[in-house]
Amino acid sequence: MALDALFKPFEFKSLKLPNRVVMAPMTRSFSPGGVATDDVAAYYARRAAAQVGLIVTEGTGVARPASLNDPNVPRFHGEKELAAWKTVVDEVHAAGGLIAPQLWHVGSAKGPAQLGKVDSPSGVSKAGGGQFTEPMSDSDVADTITAFATAAADAKRLGFDAIELHGAHGYLIDQFFWNGTNLRDDAFGGPTIAERSKFAAEILKAVRAAVGPDYPVIIRLSQWKQQDYAVKNAETPQLLEAWLQPLADAGADIFHCSQRRFWEPEFEGSDLNFAGWTKKLTGAPTITVGSVGLSGEFIAAFGGEGSQPASIDGLLERLDRGEFDLVGVGRALLQDPEWVVKIRDGRSDELQNFSREALGVLY
């Protein structure tokens, strides 16, 4: 039956997953002073024990002064911070799971607190917005690339099973992709998406050099931005290929393709979603994500909208025919650590509704 596709093992390089379920990264502001707590470790270990195939952590900041805009989001640099992440890794592994950190730089995206000098491709926060800070200098760019590579090397040293780069949702890497926020006329800008992909490609090259050829490197991408839900980096399959191929060539192994609703076609004339088109054009494994297992999409959740469990039959059909390889599950797993085993065992009557209150609790 189609459910078998979700519980078929997946292997790529050193990554050997027991099933196709990936816990999607979700910002959890429960790390005071940027240091992950024992509660954070237990939160991830509970999902590992309940058969999540791969856990991708919340975004965690690389070693740049303004990589984060919230003092309670964890950092991925510093002795105390990395020791805390080692505890997380060890507890997830002890529970039988696999885990990858999502390495993050928010760029000019606003948050509860500005923690240093803002890094921004061109000093603007959205398309048509006024310049509010200086564009990143050549040394800023070089130091940021190094910060990602150092974090990736630390992740491998700590025992993480893979790493993910956050290149989506209007944060720093995505700000370089987007012509609304990247107005540069140097090597890291230009009128084409291929030219604006150079920053991400250089990060990927540096990361690959730091972790070696067999360590899995994931990059999360999105067309939509928090600054503009309707905008697209690539309006056609040809532009999508021009965007993605340099990233694959630079060392991206797996593309994590974020949509607000996974079932929506990416381009007219095809039912393929973002992950489907990405796999078709690059041949690389892809993760689909976006309101899996729930009736409502996640942006609305921040406004208080609840969601009810929704059928995954359509998802399973797409997975079974090979449109994508892995399935990112976010809020359903945030609300219910046992989501995977309930799906596996046919206990759909036990699936939980999602409410906004779950965003404010770590369990």
Q: For 55-104, how does the pLDDT look when each residue is reduced to its tens digit (9 = 90+)?
A: 999 999 999 999 999 999 999 999 999 999 999 999 999 999 999 999 99
Total structural domains within the chain: 1
What's residue 303's pLDDT?
Answer: 62
Grade residue 258 by pLDDT with cuts at 50, 70 and 90.
very high
**The pLDDT value given to residue 120:** 97
> Over the chain, what is the mean pLDDT?
95
Q: Could you list the residue range(s) of the whole structural domain that residue 144 is in?
A: 2-360
Q: How confident is the model at residue 115 (pLDDT cuts 50, 70, 90)?
A: low
Among 44, 171, 215, 363, the active-site one is 171
**Domain harbouring 15, CATH code:** 3.20.20.70
Residue 304 pLDDT > 90: no
CA within 13 Å, CB half, 127: 16
Q: Is 171 a catalytic residue?
A: yes
Confidence of residue 111 (pLDDT cuts 50, 70, 90): confident
Q: State the Cα–Cα distance between residues 236 and 255, nearest whole angstrom.
A: 18
Kindly tell me if the per-residue pLDDT of 302 is higher than 60.
Answer: no
> So what's the pLDDT on residue 148?
99
Instruction: Give the separation between CA 56 and CA 25, rounded to whole angstroms.
Output: 5
Predicted confidence (pLDDT) at residue 116 exceeds the cutoff of 90? no
Which DSSP string corresponds to 199-216?
Answer: HHHHHHHHHHHHH-TTS-
> What integer pLDDT is reported at residue 287 of this predicted model?
98
Q: 111 near 56, Cβ under 8 Å?
A: no
